[in-house]
Amino acid sequence: MHYGLDIGGSKIALGVFDSSRTLQWERRIATPHESYSAFLDAIAGLVHDADARTGERGSVGIGIPGMPVTADGTLYAANLPAASGRALRADLCALLGRDVRLDNDANCFALSEAWDDEFARYPLVMGLILGTGVGGGLVLNGKSIPGHSYITGEFGHIRLPVDALEILGHDIPLLRCGCGQLGCIENYLSGGGFAWLYNHFYDQSLNAPEIIALWEQGDEGARAHVARYVELLAACLGTILTIVDPDLLVIGGGLSNFAALTTLLSDRLPLRLLPVARVPRIERARHGDAGGMRGAAFLHLTD
């Protein structure tokens, strides 16, 4: 059995998957913040429960926000204060008596989608999250590519390309990002960025679902806004896809619920790529909230 834990600031989700990658059992608990020992005990308790239910010692993979293993072997995760700065992987390996694998939660999202039955035939898969932020990951031959500092999929912190100024106007404000830089594409392509752009051009504060509802009703302003957003998304992805050149692009996050986005993007991308480039297959994520624990469980499947 393969155990996947998706650890966030508010909850720890455990999924138990069999050899055919089918979910057999899951459980969620609140993430402990009071102490590191309580944090370790919570994970160990979930794993031991899974062992008792399955009658075996399953493999353990964990998806976690931040950098799972920094240069000194410790975790960096700002929203997990009880564990950040601790040697989490080494401590869990010792506590559980087995190899515990950690990866960034966005990488686990990409890995989950790459191991989907229909998508497994694609050698290079890029996952793109358009949600509260913009992130994702890369999977090559079924294995995530975390990079030297676990930032391979931090697409949101690429700066706006010069084409964006033609699309949005040369006077577009360069917003300050949480990373400290100006003009990161996350501030314009995330769910909040989608809404910010609408307010910037139409002086009306609506959230993404409200704007999309207007688009579906044929509202002229919403239609123009979505067309502009898709053009911007295509321009930003044009740079990324020229470097990565994936076989498959899977879009997750809240904006992936806007089903027309993948079709609209496919139509606009060719203008932003090299003439010889082929637009990758573009699909919405298939596994939703379960993606994090699925991908974490599959960290052991590439041996």
Query: Domain 2-110+289-299, CATH 3.30.70.20 — does that match?
Result: no
Alpha-helical runs (H) found in 171-219: 186-189, 191-202, 208-216
| Per-residue pLDDT tens digits for 55-111 | 999 999 999 988 888 888 899 988 899 999 999 999 999 999 999 999 999 999 999
The answer to the question of whether 93 is labelled as a binding residue is: no
pLDDT at 170: 94
% of the chain with per-residue pLDDT over 70: 100
Q: What is the DSSP letter of 108?
A: H
Question: Is 236 annotated as contributing to ligand binding?
Answer: no
What number does CATH give the domain 119-285? 3.30.420.40
Among 23-27, 90-94, 99-103, 285-289, where is mean pLDDT lowest? Answer: 285-289
Query: Is 61 assigned to a binding site?
Result: no
What are the Cα distances from residue 96, in Å, to 46, 77, 195, 294? 11, 22, 45, 20
Residue 71 has a pLDDT of 85
To the question of whether residue 248 is assigned a binding role by annotation, the answer is no
* Secondary structure E strands in 21-151: 23-30, 59-64, 100-104, 124-130, 134-140, 143-144
- pLDDT number for residue 48: 97
Does 134 carry a binding-site annotation? Answer: yes
Beta-ladder partners of 128: 136, 251
Q: Which pLDDT score, from 0 to 100, does residue 78 have?
A: 82
Task: Tell me what pLDDT residue 286 has.
Answer: 93
Model confidence, pTM: 0.90
CATH 3.30.420.40 placement within the chain: 2-110+289-299, 119-285
pLDDT at position 39:
96
Please check if 6 is assigned to a binding site: yes
What's the mean per-residue pLDDT of the chain? 94
